[in-house]
Each structure stands twice: as structure tokens, then as C-alpha cells.
Structure 1
Amino acid sequence: MQFTSAIALVVLAYTSSVQAAPAPAPAASGLSLTQQLSIADTAVDRFALLPDNKQFVFDFNTKQNNPGKGGELVAANRKTFPALVGSGAGMAVGRVNPCGMNTLHVHPRAAELQIVVKGRLVTEMVPENGVNDANGKRRVITNTVEAFQMTPFYQGSVHTQFNPDCEDAVFIAAFPSEDFGAGQIADETFAFSDDVIAATFGQTIAGADIDKVRKGIPASIANGVDECLKKCKIPKSK
């Protein structure tokens, strides 16, 4: 009995010493909070760097900087929401205006699970080379996703969403990455040199017109589709 009590005292003493461990010393000056969290020795040290409970809440009501004409997207990643460091997850909320389109894009570091919570979206996705339809042509997976339905977009797949209605559509996107990233296909394509672009399109774009195409590329979520614009009485952007 005395031996058991002695062990219990040792365990309690060890537990107390762990709980009473001092907070980690501040990281070198100049490091962002995300950087400090990334190099913290343990999860316990990370929590010590987040002393305010409000640091664990992200507000998707925050407005996006420089949104496209067709809506906006607010992303919670390791930079905008440092509490995600160590979670392996990220999220985004998108609002797509009537007739708005989230233009062709990819996520280089994560798959996306997207659920529509208001309105509906027409989605299209091309997974990769070799994924063909019954006719041997490249397969385009197209769906109309209604409210509280979900669709996946695989990591690296090219995909887009379009709001065919005259009211806003809202979606939530979950990612298994703290830094999922995004790349707009048209913008990235026309960032290459004129020679590369002309060769890629089989010389179908005159060199003199390439800059015109570049200037016409919209921001991430753009207005589009003539039929919808007419139905919703939305004038075309000039």
C-alpha cells in the first residue's frame, strides 16, 4: 500500500510539473504568427501562442479584397486564420452573383468538397488526361448542384461553377489542407510568352491580338452567359 501511494505521489508530482511548465519564449522578432506556430516545438506551445479565445473564430462576413465582378470568395487558410496551423484543413465561402461564374481554376494542394447552401450552381470538372467519355472524348463531369447538395473537385482538376439564376448562390468549400491555393487557368495560360501561347493554340491567335485577350481575362468570379444575363436583365460589362 505504501509503495502504491508513493507511485501515486510521483505521478501527481510529474503531472503538476507538466501543467506548470512555463510558456515558450517569444519567437524571434519579425516572424508572423503563422510562422511562429509552424515552428513551435509542440501543440502545447502552439496553444500558448494563441492566448485569446477569439483567435479560434474566423469571420466569413469579412469582405474579399478586390473581388471579381460576379461575386466574392473569402478563404480561411493558415495565413488568414493562423489557428489552422496543425489542423491540416482549410475552408472557403463563396458568393456567386446572378449569372456569375467562378472561372476555370485548379487547387494545387488539395481536393475540394463543395456544398451549396443557397441557390444552385452548375458545375463542370475535367479530372486529368485519360479520363474519357463513352465516345473516347475528354470527359467533362457536369452537374447542377442544388441547395445542401455536395460535389467533389479533385486535387489538380480543372473546374468551374456558374450561377444560372437571378438570385445570389452561396457555397462552402472544405479542403484537407491549410494552404490549398488556387490558380485561374486563363490567367496562368496567358502569362506565358506570346510564342508559347500562339503555339499552344495552333497559331490560331495572332500575335497582335494576344494582349487583347490578356486584358479581357476577368477576375476569379466573372459575369457570363448571355442567356442568363438577358433573363435577369443584367447589362454586359464593357
Structure 2
Amino acid sequence: MRANAILVTSLLSLAASGTAAPSPRGDKRTELSLTAKLQLADTTADRFALLPENDDFVFDFNQAQPEPGQGGEIVAANRKNFPALVGTGAGMAVGRVGPCGMNTLHVHPRSAELQLVTSGRLITEMVPENGVNDAEGNRRVIRTELGPNMMTPFYIGSVHTQYNPDCEPATFVAALPSEDFGAGQVAQEVFAVSDNVIAATFGQSIAGEDIDKVRGAIPASIALGVEECLTKCGLKKR
């Protein structure tokens, strides 16, 4: 019992000092990230001591996304890239959607989303969970048209998308009640599974030899789309 108590005390001491316990496969020690230290802090006051600079509480959404899509970009603040969010239970994203741009179908596995359009216009669609049907008994798709200062919610785990139908850029701000909301692009996730599973899922509607072609055609997070808009805005297909 005493040996176990000493071990627990040692682990707590290591956590407080910001150093991880030795690996069972060796004696290497790994320095904890600032986010991890903030999560392990005993009190809120201790968290503030780990963020001594006023600039620690500023996140700049003007920064460029490392690998933006073809039709725009999304810059997200979560507890990893903005440690000051630890303890707030919230995150945020700012999206810039170019003419005819689309934020392709995706889900947030750990958070709902409140999306507010700040400029331009966005068409959104959301598919809730199984059992949510329309008056005809078909799966319900909730479609909205948002202009400046208009908002819509996307529920946790719901599949949703946003599309800019105009020739001018649109921007939005998304508030998410999670420090680690995450995102998964539906098409990329579906076509990441094995060929046999894909073929079975689509009822053999996709020939096996074409599966890789479909995988390669899936666009990045924000992609140019919808032929009518491209024609209206004089944009060429890519």
C-alpha cells in the first residue's frame, strides 16, 4: 500500500511540474504541452499563471490556413492552437468562402455549431439523425438561406454544408461549445474504407475499377462547385 501511495504521489508531482512520467519502454521524459499543463492545473488561478502575457489571450483569424481549399479557407481556434481556450468549453472558426465556393459535407463529432454570416450570402443544408423525416416520410434536409447577421444552428453529429451562390466572397463566424470540436469530411471518410465495403454500401452502383477515380475526385474542405454559379460568375471548371 505504501509503495502505491509513493507512486501516486510521484505521478502527481510530475504532473504538477509539467513533466510526463517515464515511459515503461524507457526512461525518456516528454515535456507536456502548454495545453496539457493548463488542463492539469489545480485551480483557475494556476492556469492564469501559465499564461503570463496579454498576447496569450489573443487569436488572430487573419492568419492564412496552411492548406486552404480551392474556393476559400477556414481558420479554426481550438485548445491546441489557442491554449487560452482551456477551461472555456468553447471554440470558434472563421470561414471565407469564395464565389461559388462550398464547404463540403462534414460533421463535428464533439460539438454543435452556431454559424453567423458576416458578409455575403450562404445557402446551408443540414441532415439530422435517423428518424428525422419530412411530411412525406423522407429523410429531412433542413435548408436555409443566410445573409449578413443571420444565423443557423448545426446540431452535434449532424451532416451539414454551406455554399456561396454568388459572385462575391462570403464570410462567416462559427461558435462551437467545445474546446476540441473536430471535423470530418463525409466524402473523404466514406471513401477511405475498403473497396468491398464501398461497393456494398452503394449497391454495386460504383464499379470496382472506378473507386479510386472517385476517391481522387473528392475535393478539399472548401471546393469550387455548382455549374450554374460558375457560369453566372464566368469561372472556369478545374
Q: Which residue of 2 aligns with 1:37?
A: 38
**What secondary structure, in the 3-state scheme, does the structure 2 residue paired with 1:235 have?**
coil
Whether the 8 Å CA contact 2:96–2:171 is kept in 1: the answer is yes
Alignment of 1:13-52 (within 5 A): 26-28=17-19, 30-52=31-53
What's the offset of the Cα at 1:27?
Answer: 1.5
Identity %: 71
Q: Is the aligned partner of 1:164 residue 2:158?
A: no
Match for 1:219: what amino acid? A
Alignment of 1:67-86 (within 5 A): 67-86=68-87
- Give how far 1:30 is off: 1.5
**Could you tell me the TM-score, scaled by structure 1's length?**
0.88
- List alignment gaps of at least 5 residues for structure 1: 1-23
Structure 1 residue runs of 4 or more that deviate by more than 3 Å after TM superposition: none
Q: Quote the residue 2:55 is aligned against.
A: 54
Structure 2 length-normalised TM: 0.88
- Pair 1:195 & 2:193 matched: no
Alignment partners' CA distance in 2, 1:25 and 1:161: 44
Q: Distance in 2 between matches of 1:206 and 1:170?
A: 39
- C-alpha distance after superposition, 1:121-168 (max 9, x if no partner): 000000111111111111100111111000000000000000000010
Q: How many residues are aligned here?
A: 214
Query: Which amino acid counterpart does residue 184 of structure 2 have in structure 1?
Result: G
User: Counterpart of 1:226?
Assistant: 227
Query: Which residue type is aligned with residue 211 of structure 1?
Result: D
Deviation at 1:31, TM superposition (A): 1.1
Distance in 2, Cα, partners of 1:65 & 1:188: 21
- Name the counterpart of 2:139: 138
Match of 2:186 in 1: 185
State how far apart, in whole Å, the 2-side matches of 1:84 and 1:48 are: 15
User: What's the CA shift for 1:26?
Assistant: 4.5
Q: Secondary structure at the match of 1:123?
A: strand
CA RMSD of aligned residues (A): 1.1
Hey, what does 1:100 align to over in structure 2? Answer: 101
